Amino acid sequence: MVEGCLFCRIVNGTEPAYVVWNSPETVAFLDTRPVFKGHALLVTRPHVGTLADLSAELMTPLLAATQRLASAMQTALGAQGAFVAMNNVVSQSVPHLHVHVVPRTKGDGLRGFFWPRTRYADDTEADEYASRLRSALAEPTQV
Where do the domains of the chain lie?
6-137
Q: What whole-number distance in Å separates Cα of residue 40 and Cα of residue 32? A: 9
Query: For the residues of the chain, what is the DSSP string, one character each?
Result: --TT-HHHHHHHTSS---EEEE-SSEEEEE-SS-SSTT-EEEEESS---SGGG--HHHHHHHHHHHHHHHHHHHHHH--SEEEEE---STT-SSSS-EEEEEEE-TTS---TT-------SSHHHHHHHHHHHHHHHHSPP--
Q: What is the pLDDT of residue 41?
A: 97
pLDDT tops 70 at residue 127: yes
Q: What is the pLDDT of residue 21?
A: 97
Please state the rounded mean pLDDT for residues 104-130: 85
Q: What whole-number distance in Å separates Cα of residue 75 and Cα of residue 107? A: 19
Residues 44-92 pLDDT 10s: 999 999 998 999 999 999 999 999 999 999 999 999 999 999 987 777 7
Q: What is the pLDDT of residue 115?
A: 61
pLDDT tops 90 at residue 110: no
The mean-pLDDT minimum among 9-23, 89-103, 104-118, 129-143 falls in 104-118
Question: Could you tell me the CATH superfamily of domain 6-137?
Answer: HIT-like (3.30.428.10)
